[in-house]
Structure formats: C-alpha cells, structure tokens
Amino acid sequence: MPVSEPGTGIVRENPARLGEIVGRVPVADAARVDRAVRAAEDAQRDWRDVPAAERAGVLSRAADALAAAGGIAELLARESGKPVADCEGEVRFAAAYLRWAAEHAPAAYADREVDDAAGRLLLRHRPYGVVAAITPWNAPVILTLLKVGPALAAGNTAVVKPSPLAPLAVTRVLELFPPELVRVVHGGAGTGQALAGHPRVHLVAFTGGAEAGRAIGAAAAAAITPVLLELGGNDPVVLLDDARLDDADMDRLVMASFATAGQVCMAAKRVYVPRSRFDDVRDAYVAAAARTVVLGDPLDRETTVGPVISADAARRIRGLVADAARRGASAVPLGSVRADLTRGHFVRPVLVTGAGDEAPVVSGEQFGPVVPLLPYDGEDEVLARANAGDLGLGASVWSADEDRAFAFARRFEAGFAFVNTHNRTGMSLRAPFGGVKRSGHGREYGAEGLLEYAQTCAVHAPAAFRAGGAGMGAGAYPS
Ligand code: NAD
C-alpha cells in the first residue's frame, strides 16, 4: 500500500517483496496543483502558436529518449509487480505510439478549407488549453503517453497526476519532455479532485475505475470542463464452434486473461465455449496455462504473472473465488509457482468452472488472475450473455472463418472487438480504442484519439454575401 503522510509523501513498496521501498514522491496539495496549472496555462499561450510539425518533433524526440533511457522497465516492474519483460514491452509500445502520433498529428490537426458555391468555410483545430491527465497504475507509461502525446501535438500543455500505486517510472518518462510543457503532481483522490476541478483546466483525460471516474466527472462539471473517461470492462471471449484452437491459440487465449495478473481493463474476463467442446477446451486451457503461466517475482525473467497490486486487491480477488465456490463452482489452479507466495501480494491464477452468469466473478470486472469458463448452446444466446451488463469495453470472437467472425463481432456492444486474439496482442496504433455504455467515452489511439485533444472551430463566409453574391433576406435561413 502507498502510505501518504504529511512530510513523508507517498512511499511505494514493491508488491512482490514486502518491506522493500522502491521510492517516494511528494504529495501535491491544492496550492501546488494551482501553481502547476497556472504555469501550464502560461506556457500554453506560446506553445499553441508553434507550428504543428515542430510540436510533433517534441514527440519524436521524446520517443527517441524513451527508447534510449535505461532502467525504466525495471523501475516499473518493482513498483507495479508487472513482469519486467512486460514492462519493456510497454515502454517500447509507448515509444512507438509517440512516433505514430508525431507522424500523423500534423495532418490530423491541419486546417481544412472549402471554397465553393455555398461559400468559403475554414475548419481549424483549436487546442483546449491545459489538459489534466489522471492515470492508473496498471500500464502507467502507455496510458499516460496516450494522453500527453496528442495533448502536446494539438497545442495544449499537460498536468499529469499519476496513480500513487505506480508513480515512479512514469515520472521519469515525463522528464524526457520539455518541463514547461508537462508538469507532474502526485497524490491520491484529493490531488486528483483539486486538478480535475481546477477552473483553469480545460480538458480532463482519465483512465481508471468507475468510482473515481464519477468523482472526477462531478469535479470537472463544476467548471464545465469536458472529461474523457476510459473506465473498466468485463470483456467477453466467444469461441465459435469452428474456432481453431491449436497450442499457439490456446497460449494466446490464456495470456489474454493473465497478463499483468489479469489487472488490465481489456483482459479477457469471461470465456464462452460451445457446450459440445467444453471439456476439450477446459483441458486444453489447463495445458496451455501449464506452458505459459509462471507465477513469480517480476524481475525473474521466467515469470509471466507477478503479484497483484496491493493487499486489498488480493483480498478482494480471493473473496470472488471463495464466493464462486460457495455457489457450487470449481476453481482449478493454473500454471506453476516460482515465488515464495508469502513475500508479496501473490494470488494463484485460477480457472473457474460451473459458475452461473449471476456470480460476481462472471457479472463484474474481477481485475485479477481469475477467469470463468462458461458453456453456451447457441449464437444468439451467447451474444445476449456477452452483451449483458453495463460495461462495453472490449470483446473477442474466435473462428476459422474470418467473415463469420466479423459478422458476429459487429453485434457486440463493445468499443473494440478483436478477432482470434484478445488484449494487447490485438492492439493497433491506428485503431481507436475506448468504451461504450458504462465503460466510458472518448477514444485513444488512431486519428480519433488525436482529435479528442482539439476542438473544431469554423470560419464561414456565406456565398450570398461575398463579392458578386445574390444576398439574402435579413434573418433568413440559407436554402
Ligand atoms: P482508480 O480509479 O482507483 O485510480 C485511477 C486514478 O484516479 C489514480 O490516479 C487515482 O489516484 C485517481 N483517483 C482515484 N479516486 C479519485 C477521486 N475520487 N478523484 C480524483 N482522482 C481519483 O483506478 P486504478 O485502480 O488505478 O485502475 C483500475 C481501474 O482502471 C479498473 O477498473 C480498470 O479497468 C480501469 N482501467 C481502464 C483502462 C481503459 O483504457 N479503459 C485502462 C486501464 C485501467
């Protein structure tokens, strides 16, 4: 747990080695948040007039610096409990995203002008001003750069509040940007409230849970500040009856649930299998987990699943499994263990069978190394079950027939559907990502993700009043 006390700030302990202090950050009070926001506002007045290509250049240079920087992945592994190879992957992906954004931003934000029989219309993309980014701990580097990159490219400046559960690596990453453009304030809900509700903040970009999202939305509403919300998910996986499930497919399916110990918004959180294939898939799943799931210390390169983030999270996840067992479900332990489980917040990965759709392990976001395997009888039935509930982040469908998979995927109530994969292996820098229903609104990645950070403003000269125009009655609507 982070300890937040006046004087000591936030102390971050390694969740795999309790008692090992990874680092400390100071807590920003409301006065410090105010100074950061006002300084960001001053800097933005110059930054917004810098040509788009030069603004994009800042992203490219930060990407190069990130790729060259040493030690960030290890620091992230120690503060978050994610396996170090995953952390290296996240850092590489984040650098690739910055390069992608740098390449595409100038065109995305370019003026568009039409001059035709209806008149002359200029559309321009105006930055908001100061963007507040409030981010979670589970993939802090990429989830922060998905906000800071487009914010800067569009001509905004940024104030970032990282999660107190993983504040260290992302702070080091943000030091690779010019300091006047990106400021960091640390703390928990209080600091987040001061930032989201600050009247000089013009856009809030948030990734995290629904409860915090609601509180941030309420704080921002007082100043009529728009909010982008990337919230949680309860992603369904639907294996159609013709799904190709060789070893590589099964390995990918297993890690779609257990990467980052299941603590990923778009993890595969419930797996639906045709009843006729259920026993075979269950056995293949357990065999795949024996190949892929190694619970251990994040700095051990054999480890693929680390501890969960905190003692509270471990308790909550074990409670979900115990509740499923009380309802008559079975929990099958998966993979192998290389850790001394008493040294950290380790939770043994399990596959749950025999759970009903109403069990919380199925109906809610478990956000831990637990996944239910569920039989179904027909496609309409499984689609209705997949779409049940308030969340709609990701989903996936697995089939040997790609057209059949696409036809099925169109019917998901999800912001993003994967075909024959799920979770990070399905990501694309060019594909917009975000939720529908209560999983939030706003998009990251792709051109849509860039455009969230600018407002389209118009200048219009109606043809009727241009030189030689026919005019129009005072107060008339154009035809
Ligand atoms: P969280 O909501 O507890 O915290 C996220 C951030 O909000 C942190 O910086 C935290 O300090 C801050 N915060 C918390 N309460 C606040 C309040 N009342 N006012 C202002 N700020 C506040 O989330 P977490 O535990 O860090 O992450 C887990 C959740 O995030 C899960 O639900 C997960 O699905 C979701 N998530 C979503 C995505 C996505 O892209 N949709 C990605 C990753 C995580």
Report whether pLDDT(1) > 50.
Answer: no
Catalytic position from the list 265, 413, 444, 452 = 265
Maximal C-alpha separation, the chain:
84
Report whether pLDDT(223) > 90.
Answer: yes
Ligand 1 pocket mutation, candidates 82, 134, 365, 443, criterion most atoms within 8 A of CB: 134
Whole-number pLDDT of residue 47:
98
Q: Span 122-132, mean pLDDT?
A: 98
Per-residue pLDDT of 15-62, as tens digits, reads: 999 999 999 999 999 999 999 999 999 999 999 999 999 999 999 999
Q: Is 231 in the pocket of ligand 1 (CB under 6 A)?
A: yes
Report whether pLDDT(3) > 50.
Answer: no
Angstrom distances, CA of residue 34 to CA of 132, 194, 350? 12, 8, 46
pTM above 0.75, yes or no: yes
Residues 301, 299: Cα–Cα separation, whole Å: 6
Sequence-separated (6 or more) residues with CB below 8 Å from residue 82 = 76, 90, 138, 260, 261, 298, 306
DSSP per residue, 189-247: HHHHHHHHT-TT--EEEEES-HHHHHHHHHHHHTTT--EEEE-----EEEE-TT----H
Residues 49, 157: Cα–Cα separation, whole Å: 12
Catalytic position from the list 13, 79, 90, 230 = 230
Q: Is 138 in the pocket of ligand 1 (CB under 6 A)?
A: yes
Q: Name the residue with tokens 């996240």.
A: 90
CA nearest neighbour of 25 among 74, 87, 75: 75
The CA angle 418-240-246, to the nearest 5 degrees, is 80
Report whether pLDDT(350) > 70.
Answer: yes
Q: Span 113-131, mean pLDDT?
A: 98
Q: Is 185 in the pocket of ligand 1 (CB under 6 A)?
A: no
Q: Is 303 in the pocket of ligand 1 (CB under 6 A)?
A: no
Q: Span 326-347, mean pLDDT?
A: 96
Tally the C-alpha atoms within 13 A of residue 214's C-alpha that lie toward its C-beta: 4
What are the chain's domains?
A: 4-231+439-458 (3.40.605.10), 236-426 (3.40.309.10)
Whole-number pLDDT of residue 115:
98
Q: Is 136 in the pocket of ligand 1 (CB under 6 A)?
A: yes
The runs of H, that is alpha helices, within 310-432 are 311-326, 360-363, 379-387, 402-409
CA of 204 to the centre of ligand 1 (A): 13
Report whether pLDDT(6) > 70.
Answer: no
| The length of the chain, given as a count of residues | 479
Report whether pLDDT(131) > 60.
Answer: yes
User: Three-state SS for 30?
Assistant: helix
Per-residue pLDDT of 68-90, as tens digits, reads: 999 999 999 999 999 999 999 99
Residues 332, 205: Cα–Cα separation, whole Å: 39
Whole-number pLDDT of residue 8:
57
Q: Span 440-467, mean pLDDT?
A: 98
Q: Span 323-329, mean pLDDT?
A: 97
Whole-number pLDDT of residue 2:
44
Residues 324, 368: Cα–Cα separation, whole Å: 14
Q: Is 235 in the pocket of ligand 1 (CB under 6 A)?
A: no
Is the separation of the CB atoms in 261 and 305 below 8 Å? Answer: yes
Per-residue pLDDT of 44-55, as tens digits, reads: 999 999 999 999
Q: Is 163 in the pocket of ligand 1 (CB under 6 A)?
A: yes
Q: Which two tokens stand for residue 231?
A: 């919230």
Protein residue closest via CA to atom 9 of ligand 1: 163
User: Three-state SS for 80?
Assistant: helix
Per-residue pLDDT of 172-195, as tens digits, reads: 999 999 999 999 999 999 999 999
Residues 192, 194: Cα–Cα separation, whole Å: 6
Residues 217, 442: Cα–Cα separation, whole Å: 13
Phi-psi region of 12 (alpha: psi -120 to 50; beta: other; left: phi over 0): beta
Residues 165, 137: Cα–Cα separation, whole Å: 6
CA of 135 to the centre of ligand 1 (A): 6
Banded pLDDT at 5 (limits 50, 70, 90): very low
Sequence-separated (6 or more) residues with CB below 8 Å from residue 55 = 47, 105, 152, 153, 154, 155
Annotate 272-304 with b (16+ C-beta within 10 A) or e (fewer): bbbeebbeebbebbbebbeebbbbbbbbbeebb
Residues 427, 234: Cα–Cα separation, whole Å: 17
**87 counts as catalytic:** no
Banded pLDDT at 7 (limits 50, 70, 90): low
Per-residue pLDDT of 146-155, as tens digits, reads: 999 999 999 9
Annotate 323-343 with b (16+ C-beta within 10 A) or e (fewer): ebeeeebebeebbeeebeeeb
Amino acid identity of residue 262, one-letter, is: G
What share of the chain in percent tops pLDDT 90?
98
Residues 472, 476: Cα–Cα separation, whole Å: 7
Q: Is 56 in the pocket of ligand 1 (CB under 6 A)?
A: no
Banded pLDDT at 479 (limits 50, 70, 90): confident
3-state secondary structure 158-199: EEEECCCCCCHHHHHHHCCCCCCCEEECCCCHHHHHHHHCCC
Q: Span 404-431, mean pLDDT?
A: 97
Burial class of residue 200 (count of CB atoms within 10 Å of its CB; 0-12, 13-18, 19+): middle
Ligand 1 pocket mutation, candidates 231, 266, 312, 445, criterion most atoms within 8 A of CB: 231
The CA angle 209-272-329, to the nearest 5 degrees, is 80
CA of 161 to the centre of ligand 1 (A): 11
Whole-number pLDDT of residue 4:
46
